[in-house]
């Protein structure tokens, strides 16, 4: 008999609570999953996304998206996806609303909160920042500090993953903030919905066709924590005994879809407005997604082609939301059984056009020369900061490294003597990952003597 999980298990309001109970609120006023959303919005890690790269590193134009605006837009799409799916799930499983007091708005809040946080662990300089961190830990400079680490701990660093860093941001509490437990104290369901890759860094699943196995979702420091969440929610087990390796929470497919929809369409819109994508070629691809009747006449008059792009984008996102929710609901039972594991966007009728947009974006936007130049510089910046920070953590008796250590916030550097080498390295990596593009560049220039701070 095929193992199956249930929505009754998958939806839980359980969370790590603050030790000070006076901050709890009446759920009748603000639902538990809305509280998750609000906590993410007010976190410093989320606020820093306003100066982290989405398409163009350190853009000079105001309309180009940052990680913050991308995350906000993904959360809006995710809320719509969640509410539409939630309405049908409650119709199919009416006991959820009667026994667990779950409403369709709760589904929207779960997905919206997870979407809001989906990039919260990304380092400076976009996805190339992950490559830069991985490269440093594969280098000769890092080798002496990795000798006592386990293979899984090394894999965490040498295949560095922003998704795992994000799970750590949401769940880890630094020693200097001991009045709290569990990071932002989010619900188990929101954390599982956030986790698109519910596995540890090892084993690597080569040439997998399963979307949830292509990366990993948590470091060794958080794997027991995720194991607790998985058991509480009844996530289906994968892998061998002893491996923390699970099937996705079904709502994680909606988080992935919201991200896919936004970066495919909105990054492409940015590329068009920046002049990186030929105007007519780009507009024609967007029109093809809508597949309008050639005889269809619009009553709208556009002042310019950029205004038309905004109109097309709005209609396209609405169409993709509608089609994506239909695909999800068609495969709901397979997700509950763990037999469905592919991006929802790959099931849409317009996939060939979306693939053309992706290929064009890679060639003309993501591999644009200024982007590549800044990303290359990012390798030097992040590698240099990691090297300086790790030496400061491991060589505290050196005068030079003591001065470097003084530049690092205490929660990242002042660890108990019992801390392992892996824990010390992860904390320094947390610090570097937390920096915005500008802050990382500024700190690197100062510690290298390229630019001296202004004296007031």
What is the b/e burial string over 130-158, where b = at least 16 CB atoms within 10 angstroms of the residue's CB? bbbbebbbbeeebeebbeebeebbbbbbb
Residue with tokens 């969370």: 15
pLDDT tens column, 354-382: 999 999 999 998 888 877 887 888 899 99
Interatomic CA distance for residues 229 and 279, integer angstroms: 47
Say how far apart CA 283 and CA 291 lie, in whole Å. 13
Q: For residue range 34-50, what is the model confidence (pLDDT) as tens digits?
A: 999 999 999 999 999 99
Residue 117 near residue 47, CB atoms below 8 Å = no
pLDDT band at 450 (very low <50, low <70, confident <90, very high): confident
pLDDT in tens, 70-113: 999 999 999 999 999 999 999 999 999 988 899 999 999 999 99
Model confidence at 28, pLDDT cuts 50, 70, 90, reads low
Class for domain 252-369, per CATH? mainly alpha
Which of 86, 357, 366, 335 is closest to 211 using CA atoms?
335
Rounded to whole angstroms, the Cα distance separating 353 from 357 reads 6
pTM given for the model: 0.93
Assigned CATH class of 31-233: mainly alpha
Q: What is the 3-state secondary structure (H, E, C) of the chain?
A: CCCCCCHHHHCCCCECCCCCHHHCCCCCCCCHHHHHHHHHHCCHHHHHHHHCECCCCCCCCCCCCEHHHHHHHHHHHHHHHHHHHHHHHHHHCCHHHHHCCCCHHHHHHHHHHHHHCCCCCCCCCCHHHHHHHHHHHCCCCCHHHHCCCCHHHHHHHHCCCHHHHHHHHHHCCCHHHCCCCCCCCCEHHHHHHHCCCCECCCCCCCCCCCHHHCCCCCCHHHHHHHHHHHHHHCCCECCCCCCCEECCCCCHHHHHHHHHHHHHHHHHHHHHHCCCCCHHHHHHHHHHHHCCCCCCCCCCCCCCHHHHHHHHHHHHHHHHHHHHHHHHHHCHHHHHHCCCCCCHHHHCCCHHHHHHHHHHHHHHHHCCHHHHHHHHHHHHHHHHHHHHHHHHHHCCCCHHHHHHHHCCCHHHHCCCCCCCHHHHHHHHHHHHHHCCHHHHHHHHHHHCCCCCCCCC
Section 408-413 average pLDDT: 93
187: which strand partners? 15
* Rama region for 258: left / alpha / beta (φ>0; ψ in -120 to 50; rest): alpha
Alpha carbons 202 and 210: distance in angstroms, whole number: 16
What pLDDT, on the 0 to 100 scale, is given for residue 181? 56
- Is residue 214 within 8 Å of 248, Cβ to Cβ? no
Note whether 31-233 and 252-369 share their fold: no
Which of 166, 187, 173 is CA-nearest to residue 433?
166
The answer to whether the bond into 203 is cis (omega within 30° of 0) is yes
Q: 325-351 pLDDT, tens per residue?
A: 999 999 999 999 999 999 999 999 999
As a whole number, mean pLDDT of residues 15-36 equals 68
Cβ–Cβ under 8 Å, residues 320 and 351: no
Q: Report pLDDT for 117.
A: 98
- With beta carbons less than 8 A apart as the criterion, state whether 162 and 170 touch: no
- The length of the chain, given as a count of residues: 456
Is the Cβ–Cβ distance between 245 and 198 less than 8 Å? yes
Residue 282 pLDDT greater than 70, yes or no: yes
- Return the domain boundaries, the chain: 31-233, 252-369, 371-447
């Amino acid at each position: 008999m095929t193992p199956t999980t249930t929505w009754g298990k998958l939806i839980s309001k359980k969370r790590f609570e603050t030790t000070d109970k006076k901050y709890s609120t009446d759920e009748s006023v603000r639902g538990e999953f809305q509280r998750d959303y609000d906590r993410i919005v007010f976190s410093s890690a989320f606020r820093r996304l306003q100066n982290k790269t989405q398409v163009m590193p350190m853009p000079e134009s105001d309309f180009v998206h940052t990680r913050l605006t991308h995350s906000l837009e993904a959360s809006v799409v995710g809320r719509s996806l969640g509410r539409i799916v939630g309405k049908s799930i409650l119709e199919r499983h009416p006991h959820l609303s009667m026994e667990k007091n779950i409403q369709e708005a709760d589904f929207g809040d779960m997905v919206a909160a997870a979407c809001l946080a989906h990039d919260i662990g990304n380092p400076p300089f976009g996805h190339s920042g992950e490559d830069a961190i991985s490269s440093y830990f594969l280098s000769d400079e890092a080798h002496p500090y990795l000798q006592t680490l386990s293979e899984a701990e090394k894999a965490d660093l040498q295949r560095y993953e922003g998704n795992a860093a994000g799970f750590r941001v949401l769940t880890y509490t630094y020693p200097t903030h001991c009045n709290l437990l569990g990071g932002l104290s989010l619900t188990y369901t929101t954390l599982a919905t956030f986790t698109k890759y519910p596995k540890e860094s090892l084993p690597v699943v080569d040439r997998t066709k399963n979307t949830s196995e292509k990366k990993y979702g948590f470091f060794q420091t958080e794997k027991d924590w995720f194991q607790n969440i998985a058991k509480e929610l009844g996530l289906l087990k994968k892998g061998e005994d002893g491996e923390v390796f699970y099937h996705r929470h079904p709502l994680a497919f909606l988080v992935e879809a919201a991200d896919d929809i936004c970066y495919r369409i909105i990054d492409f819109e940015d590329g068009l407005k920046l002049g990186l994508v030929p105007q007519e070629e780009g507009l024609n691809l967007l029109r093809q997604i809508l597949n309008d009747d050639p005889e269809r006449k619009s009553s709208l008059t556009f002042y310019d082609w950029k205004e038309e792009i905004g109109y097309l984008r709005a209609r396209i996102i609405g169409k993709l939301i509608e089609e994506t929710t239909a695909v999800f609901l068609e495969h709901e039972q397979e997700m509950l059984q763990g037999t469905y594991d592919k991006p929802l966007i790959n099931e849409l009728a317009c996939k060939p056009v979306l693939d053309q947009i992706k290929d064009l974006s890679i060639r003309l936007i993501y591999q644009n020369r200024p982007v590549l130049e800044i990303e290359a510089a990012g390798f030097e910046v992040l590698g240099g900061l990691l090297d300086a920070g790790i030496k400061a953590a491991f060589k505290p008796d050196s005068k030079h490294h003591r001065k470097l250590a003084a530049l690092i916030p205490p929660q990242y550097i002042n660890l108990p003597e019992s801390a392992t080498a892996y824990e010390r390295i992860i904390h320094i990596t947390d610090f570097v990952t937390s920096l915005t593009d500008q802050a990382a560049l500024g700190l690197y220039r100062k510690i290298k003597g390229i630019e001296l701070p202004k004296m007031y």
